[in-house]
Structure 1
Amino acid sequence: MALHLVKLCVGCDSVQDLQDWIDERMAAMRRAGEAAEQRHTTRMVPKRVDELLDGGSLYWVIRGSVQVRQRLLAIRPFRDGDGIQRCHLVLEPALVATEWQPRRAFQGWRYLDQRDAPADLGSALSEADGLPPALSRALAELGLL
């Protein structure tokens, strides 16, 4: 059974905000001549790497609810310029919409067992196919999504 991570998506008000940020970052990496890969830097290094890389994903909490996930491709610990241990979570750039699952705010990331992970809504993300984000958020907060 796959193990996942869940993390707050700080600075994004919608899934589209996250998608735009990913697209901008990937384009900037290509312009700089770097290998374009989507990665998220975190301070703590997961200990259960093998379980996470066996089909695990990073589930993003946006505006108080898990809304989307990205498959984990690699976990790369490193030391930054100040000598502080950090970690790159390398993610598949494709976002997969999930059922909305309310989550309280927390710091860092948390492990998420497969049995507790929200189900996927479809293969590709398309907010145009769904409800407006504000309506989706309100319905999720009421437990109706």
Structure 2
Amino acid sequence: MTVHLLKTAVGIADIEHLRRVQQTRRARWDGREIVRGYTRNKPRRETELVDGGSIFWIVKGRIQVRQRVFGLADAVDDEGRVYCEMHLDPDLVETVPVPRRPIQGWRYLAPAEAPGDLDAGHVGQRADDDTLPPHLARELRELGLL
């Protein structure tokens, strides 16, 4: 059974900012292009996570984007502390924005609780969508109506 992760994108202003930051973390792993992500504690449900799971990013109080998780690896920093290196898909997939308070570290996210991917059928849902007047779209999202 697949499981996802939920993590706050600390210090990130928007999806484009996340994309720019991750450009500096690109690498090759197992024959594919990846982005390296880091977290202190390694998820124990690794098998379920790499079996189609994604990391869903909370950006400015909303889950807005996700990335597939290809793998996890133990790593050690210069001071000898162990951490987890996440091997992520470089492609960021925008999701239907869902309000969510920031969290410390990460949490598991069940597939049934994960927001759907954003597509053309979700009018007025993108954080930067101008289909509706911005003030109206923002108010409707805050009320949970979009």
Which consecutive residues of structure 1, in runs of 5 or more, have no partner in the other structure?
none
Amino acid at match of 1:16: E
Moved >6 Å (runs of 4+):
none
Counterpart position of 1:3: 3
TM-score, length-scaled by structure 2: 0.81
* 2:98 is aligned with 1:101: yes
- Write the deviation string for residues 77-114 of structure 1: whole angstroms up to 9, x where unpaired: 11222121100111101010101111112200000000
Q: Measured at CA, do residues 53 and 129 of structure 1 come closer, stay the same or move farther in structure 2, by a change above 3 Å? A: same
8 Å CA contact retained: 1:73, 1:90:
yes
Matched residues, number: 134
Q: Percent identity?
A: 41
What secondary structure is seen at the aligned counterpart in 1 of 2:64? strand
State the distance in 2 between where 1:138 and 1:11 align. Answer: 24
State the distance in 1 between where 2:89 and 2:4 align. Answer: 14
Alignment RMSD = 2.4
Which structure carries more helix by proportion? 1
Q: Give the 5 Å matches for 1:1-145.
A: 1-23=1-23, 25-26=24-25, 35=28, 37-122=34-119, 130-131=129-130, 138-145=139-146
8 Å CA contact retained: 2:97, 2:127:
no
Which consecutive residues of structure 2, in runs of 5 or more, have no partner in the other structure?
121-125
TM-score, length-scaled by structure 1: 0.81
